[in-house]
Chains A and B, each alone.
Chain A
Amino acid sequence: MGLIFSKVLEMSMAAVLLIVAVTLLRIPLKKAPKWFMGVLWTIVALRLLVPLQVESGLGFMPDFGQVTSLVTGREALNDSSVYTSEDTVLPSSELTKNEALADGGGISKTTLDQKKGTLSYLTILWIVGMIMAFGYALYSYISIRLKTRVSIRYRSSDKVYVCDDIDTPFIFGLVKPVIYLPSGLDHDTIVNVIAHEKAHLKRMDHLRKGLGFFILTIHWFNPFVWLSYILFCRDIELACDERVISTMSTDEKKSYAESLLSCSTKKRRMMVYPVAFGEVAVGTRIRQIFNYKKPTFYLVLLLVAITGTLATCSFTRAADKVTITPYKIDVVSAPDRIRTENVEAIAEPVMARTRIEEIRWKEESEEVKVGQQAKADEIEKSTSSVPSEVKIEDNGKGASVDVKEGNTHVSVSADDLNKLTSVEPVKEVVNVTEDIVDEVTDGILIDGEIADTAVDTAFSITTDTLGLVDSILGW
């Protein structure tokens, strides 16, 4: 459950920027066809429901997975090797090892416990909120069900019922939706209301709204999702009006506007399920009715472009950006990302130290471009993955090196071995690792650039990913 929660948290965070963008887009898109807002809200809904992010240079989103792991401590929880790697980086001195355990290990253990506590506490809170939202929906459903029991068919129509105990027309039911009209409406209003509700049914708005509420239930802790739900309900009504009036004459529009007004004057409680008639923003809706124009070709083109951009950006994240997190070692311990080239990198520790300084300085002055960041990320891993144990075996034909770091094993070819053995600054390695341990304990981030080979590989991989994503998206 905690894992699901952190995924939800991740999606919620990733959606915030998108929601802000869509909300702002509503202003210039005032004159655009209203059904288009439905398309934009669909992207938002997908972003909130689908836990997927494609890595690409097109994306501007940070990797929220790492951010949430900061909050929930998820990765720290799942990966115990994180902490073993911390002390295994100190191979030479028994004394320093103990110190590291006392300082670094001790602190991270308590923070681990704290994070574990916070995670379960937040998860429980999240579930309680969901149950409450669901309970409210159930309460609404039952009270409407009870009220609409006493209803009769309107003129032997199979989908329209008249009910005394309701004060606004609405659609009720997800599988077999039925239109309910309050009693006492005049003939013109009934005609307009039925036209409106039938348009809702054709647009499947009762399902959309149900889905919208479901998403709201999951993301109840996110005020941005509330904002989108409110605006989404509003846009649904506007789009429905638009559909109804697109074929109406001016006189019919007037009659429609009057019906809207007469249905909105009565006060009522907010209900979750029904797709109502005079529910929201009646002023805006009436103005909209008389402002309706058929969209031009260029407008449609612009809308398509907006949709494409938003959809692409929100489902991709920036390729290999350096994420600043005090739990840097989490990333390091991902075994599959350590490449053979890293071993070479270790062989040049003096260079590494100077470059570490360089990169950090660059980071501070914000001069690191995306490409360089990618490199820095790669190197960051190699710097910290200094092996605890380097086993070199020469079995005649081909030499192999076994690098042990926590649970990571890296095999190196004979070529690499030559490069490795040609340099022998073992003492320097120890120095560097001590530095790292110190800095990690202080919670400071280290980034470094060490070897050009590693840089090249990292860069080419990024380009490959980009090309792949591009071809998938068809850009």
Chain B
Amino acid sequence: MAVEFGEVQMKFAELIWEKEPVGSGELVKLCAERFDWKKSTTYTVLKKLCDKGLFQNVEGIVTSRISKEDFYTKKSEEFVDEAFGGSLPAFLAAFTSHQQLSRKDIEEIRSIIDKIQ
């Protein structure tokens, strides 16, 4: 997924993930409420995201082709790949050097590692 998504597109994507499957007319209404968008604006953005392969609009019903979880997993992988050469320890080291991990954080990470083992 070498495609970039902007903040606005992500907000829109989140809305679809939250409401899917959703009729396109309903989506237009939702966007008018939340973002103050016109009908044409909503369709423009929807078409863009469909072209990027994130969603599909079949007979007026909008559904996702990539789930929210899959999307973020892929995104974080890409990030670690790009910034730390795919090394998770390097990423963790960089992350913890500035930010103190809370006890809760540490326990969560430990349980993840335990699961893998």
Contact = CB atoms under 8 A, between A and B. Distances in A.
A164 B44 contact: no
Contact of A164 (B9, B34, B37, B38): B9
A206 B94 CA distance: 42
Interface string B42-81: 0011000000000000000000000000000000000000
A259 to B, nearest CB: 17
Contacts of A149: 37-38, 41, 44
Given A152-B11, A152-B35, A164 B41 contact: no
Contacts of B44: 149-150
B114 to A, nearest CB: 34
A183 B37 CA distance: 17
Please tell me the size bucket of the interface on A. Answer: 10 to 19
- Mostly, the B contact residues are helix
B110 to A, nearest CB: 30
Nearest to B40: A149
Given A149-B41, A149-B44, A150-B41, A183 B6 contact: yes
Contacts of B6: 163-165, 183-184
B115 to A, nearest CB: 33
A422 B111 CA distance: 126
Contacts of B18: none
B7 interface: yes
A372 interface: no
A325 interface: no
B45 A150 contact: yes
A374 B77 CA distance: 85
B7 A162 contact: yes
A151 interface: yes
B49 to A, nearest CB: 11
Nearest to A182: B6
Interface in B1-26: 6-9, 11
Nearest to A162: B7
Nearest to B31: A152
Interface residues of B, number: 13
A151 B6 CA distance: 10
- Mostly, the A contact residues are mixed
A162 B35 CA distance: 11
Nearest to B34: A152
A163 B37 CA distance: 13
A332 B12 CA distance: 76
A162 B41 contact: no
Interface string A150-162: 1111000000001
Most chain B CB within a 10 A radius of its CB, from A162, A164, A165: A164
A233 B32 CA distance: 37
Interface string A178-199: 0000011000000000000000
Contacts of A150: 8, 37, 41, 44-45
A79 to B, nearest CB: 59
A162 B12 CA distance: 13
Nearest to A185: B7
Contact of A184 (B7, B37, B41, B45): B7
B46 to A, nearest CB: 11
Contacts of B7: 152, 162, 164, 183-184
Nearest to A166: B6
Contacts of B38: 149
Contacts of B37: 149-150
A163 B8 contact: yes
Nearest to A152: B35
B29 to A, nearest CB: 16
A183 B9 CA distance: 10
Contacts of A164: 6-9
A183 B41 contact: no
A152 B13 CA distance: 13
11 contacts: A149-B41, A151-B8, A152-B8, A162-B7, A163-B6, A163-B8, A164-B6, A164-B7, A165-B6, A183-B8, A184-B6
Interface of B: 6-9, 11, 34-38, 41, 44-45
Given A151-B8, A153-B35, 11 more contacts: A149-B38, A149-B44, A150-B41, A150-B44, A151-B35, A152-B34, A162-B8, A163-B6, A163-B8, A164-B8, A184-B7
7 closest A-B pairs by beta carbon, nearest first, are A164-B6, A183-B7, A183-B6, A164-B8, A152-B35, A149-B41, A152-B8
